[in-house]
Structure 1
Amino acid sequence: MSIKKPKPVIEYRNYYLPSSFPVLLLTGDNWKISDVKSEHLHFHNCLEVGICHSRSGILEFCNAMTMPFSEGDVTCIPRNIPHTTYSAPCTKSRWSYLFFDPRQLFRDMLPPDFSYSMICDDVHKYLIPAGLSRRIPLLADAAVEELSAEEPDRMLAKSYLFALYMEIIRFQNPEMHNIQSENTPPWQNPPCFGNNSMNITPALDFIEDNYMNKFPVDRLAELCHMSPTHFRRCFQSVMHTTPLTYLNTIRIMNACNLLRNTNHTILTISVMTGFSTLSNFNRLFNQMMKVPPKEYRMQTLRGRKPGEIPSIIEYAGWLEPDESPHMGNQE
């Protein structure tokens, strides 16, 4: 009798991005990636741009789709794309990571009808080998250098990130590149995904863009070209929770951001994040964050360190990252 292979676990990692400047930089000599492959893929709530400073290794997506990386390569992985990274055996590659939300960061720089969508079914576009683009690594390094300064100039950093983002969009546009030749490495051929974790990406994107509004689950199923029943089954399989619970999670995360970075009343925040009643907001917030909204805000004002504030991923059904975001060894 054959033993059924367990399904891979998809881990959700949320990074708090301040509403005033939705950017997070992870860099330094301590930010090295282990050669031990993680037992599960993960995805983020924002765009991830990584710069490999040394060594080499493997970038892996669902369905065991892998791509080798080496020193000088840049990765640009959109939100909600499951992946993991590990170094070559007996080595630790060093990286810098930029996490940012283009929709919030560039909303005053782009027209209202601008499409922020990035490629979701051609993952070889998520790795830019050294030498393939001259501008992307230069802009990424400039953004990291500015954000690492003792007193960074946010406007200058924002300009670097904007130019970087537009160059990535250009790189991912297939009309900007020649048709692949027969000499193209096999890992660069667009894969055909049959994994549910990629199939539900349009729903995850829609939820993050429209969490403040009311919409039926059928709308999410339609975006993923599935029947409502099949969509719920796929969503549960990948996320280990229901679409409604995930929607409320996104709402609470955004409420946390508003509580930490604005003076809005708790009632106003509950409305801004899509809750129909204050009592429902308070109940779900306390359930997920283990403290009421008022206490959460007071903890922030008292200057507690980020690691001491209850994390959204601590509630039942989600997994902790392998290590702290500031000292982690797997990405």
Structure 2
Amino acid sequence: MPRKKKPVIEYRHYSLPIHFPVLLLSGERWKISDIKSEHLHFHNHLEIGICYSDSGIMEIKGESVPFTAGDVTFLPRYLPHTTYSSPGEASLWSYLFFSPEDLFQHSFKSAYSNFEPNLWAVLGKNCILNKDKHPMVYSLATSIVEELQQQKPYYQESAYGLLLSLYIELLRIHSTNEALTDQEAGHSLKGDFVISPALEYITRNYMLPMTIDFLADLCHLSTTHFRRKFHEMMGTAPLDFLSSTRIEEACKQLKSTEDSILEISEKVGFHSISSFNRCFSKLMGTSPKEWRKSAQSETQSAKASILEFTGWV
């Protein structure tokens, strides 16, 4: 009997605007076909999706969860999923991407250290919230999209307040939702995305020294198996992913601060200016000094060149 083919998992990296780190994807381009993709995908930021029309299925954590117009989806970063519409339909969506710990770090009390709920322990069906059952969620989400589209005076301040309200409402809902048992959550993690702990650690602690052995231990894998699994899912080596994460942060700081290149290189985790310059030039195709000079618009994507060089989706 032939082996069941493993699903391909794609990493989609979105670079957020620097001064207001919220990305909106909307418009007629964001229609989802009724053809089921053979690929799962995941993102580097929390994703909130709003379905405006039609219906279909989301594959989350091995579950096939139906959606319909008016639903709002709430998916953590690094959670593999895919979406397809019902036969003959093409559902229309808007998507918001942001990192709660970056956006809300000054709004929450210090006691709230974990900004994203552990959705590895949440049932996939709880990631889709219906308009009739959760009207406030739908109202807040659609209002945020309108603010970002219309860009009236003070739209960023308004969008920030609405996003904070929406996020708190989502945290409240998920804190009371049915959750998987520890055993079920562990099985789901192993089956879907065993390298997630390493990705989370790199995202939160990129400025610290780390080794492949340490990252492999976080995932309860041997170093050899971890290297192979990481490259299989990410299309790059673990330490290359760490380097690109550091360089993206360096791009943000080069553009948004007056800090020296040496100061920035140390803040993002490089121990010598020469290694920082080499890594930056390799990924971005130019020196940090030249990149800073050419960074013109706020919407420039710090990651664009990195995507080109590493071949990530």
Q: Secondary structure of the equivalent of 1:311?
A: helix
Which residue pairs with 1:155 in the alignment? 157
Distance across 2 between alignment mates of 1:108 and 1:194: 31
Which residue pairs with 2:166 in the alignment? 164
Is 1:315 matched up with 2:309?
yes
Distance across 2 between alignment mates of 1:228 and 1:95: 40
Q: Secondary structure of the equivalent of 1:199?
A: coil
Which residue pairs with 1:265 in the alignment? 260
Distance across 2 between alignment mates of 1:90 and 1:208: 40
How many Å apart are 1:288 and its aligned residue? 1.7
Q: 1:105 aligns with which of 94, 103, 107?
A: 103
Mark the CA change 1:193 to 1:178 in structure 2 (over 3 Å): closer, same or farther: closer
Mark the CA change 1:85 to 1:191 in structure 2 (over 3 Å): closer, same or farther: farther
> TM-score, normalized by length of structure 1?
0.82
Distance across 2 between alignment mates of 1:296 and 1:222: 36
Mark the CA change 1:218 to 1:255 in structure 2 (over 3 Å): closer, same or farther: same
Distance across 1 between alignment mates of 2:136 and 2:263: 43
Which ranges of structure 1 fall in alignment gaps of 5 or more residues? 181-188, 321-331
Asked whether the equivalents of residues 56 and 91 of structure 2 are also in contact (C-alpha less than 8 Å), the reply is: yes
Asked whether the equivalents of residues 15 and 302 of structure 2 are also in contact (C-alpha less than 8 Å), the reply is: no
Asked whether the equivalents of residues 59 and 81 of structure 2 are also in contact (C-alpha less than 8 Å), the reply is: yes
Which residue pairs with 1:93 in the alignment? 91
How many Å apart are 1:85 and its aligned residue? 1.8
Identical residues among aligned pairs (%):
43
Distance across 1 between alignment mates of 2:179 and 2:299: 50
Which residue pairs with 2:132 in the alignment? 131
Tell which deviates more after alignment, 217-226 or 277-286.
217-226
Asked whether the equivalents of residues 52 and 73 of structure 1 are also in contact (C-alpha less than 8 Å), the reply is: yes
Aligned length: 306
Which residue pairs with 1:279 in the alignment? 274
Which residue pairs with 2:197 in the alignment? 202
Distance across 2 between alignment mates of 1:99 and 1:172: 18
Distance across 2 between alignment mates of 1:192 and 1:172: 20
Which residue pairs with 1:244 in the alignment? 239
Aligned amino acid, residue 120 of structure 1: W
Which ranges of structure 2 fall in alignment gaps of 5 or more residues? none
Which residue pairs with 1:30 in the alignment? 29
How many Å apart are 1:103 and its aligned residue? 0.6
Distance across 2 between alignment mates of 1:279 and 1:253: 17
Mark the CA change 1:8 to 1:294 in structure 2 (over 3 Å): closer, same or farther: farther
Asked whether the equivalents of residues 126 and 177 of structure 2 are also in contact (C-alpha less than 8 Å), the reply is: no
Matches within 5 A, 1:11-30: 11-30=10-29
Asked whether the equivalents of residues 121 and 179 of structure 2 are also in contact (C-alpha less than 8 Å), the reply is: no
Give per-residue Cα distances to partners, 1:80-124, cap 9 Å, x unaligned.
112222222332211111111111111111122312132124333
Distance across 1 between alignment mates of 2:167 and 2:49: 13
Mark the CA change 1:92 to 1:263 in structure 2 (over 3 Å): closer, same or farther: farther
RMSD between aligned residues: 2.9
Give per-residue Cα distances to partners, 1:145-173, cap 9 Å, x unaligned.
22222334222211111111111111212
How many Å apart are 1:245 and its aligned residue? 1.3
Q: Secondary structure of the equivalent of 2:291?
A: helix
Asked whether the equivalents of residues 57 and 87 of structure 1 are also in contact (C-alpha less than 8 Å), the reply is: yes
Which residue pairs with 1:10 in the alignment? 9
> TM-score, normalized by length of structure 2?
0.86
Give the structure with the higher percent helix. Answer: 2
Tell which deviates more after alignment, 80-89 or 33-42.
33-42
Asked whether the equivalents of residues 50 and 74 of structure 1 are also in contact (C-alpha less than 8 Å), the reply is: yes
Distance across 2 between alignment mates of 1:13 and 1:311: 14
Mark the CA change 1:8 to 1:298 in structure 2 (over 3 Å): closer, same or farther: farther
Asked whether the equivalents of residues 50 and 71 of structure 2 are also in contact (C-alpha less than 8 Å), the reply is: yes
Distance across 2 between alignment mates of 1:140 and 1:305: 22
Give per-residue Cα distances to partners, 1:209-236, cap 9 Å, x unaligned.
1101113334433433334444334323
Asked whether the equivalents of residues 58 and 67 of structure 1 are also in contact (C-alpha less than 8 Å), the reply is: yes
Q: Secondary structure of the equivalent of 2:295?
A: helix
Asked whether the equivalents of residues 46 and 76 of structure 2 are also in contact (C-alpha less than 8 Å), the reply is: yes
Distance across 2 between alignment mates of 1:190 and 1:78: 15
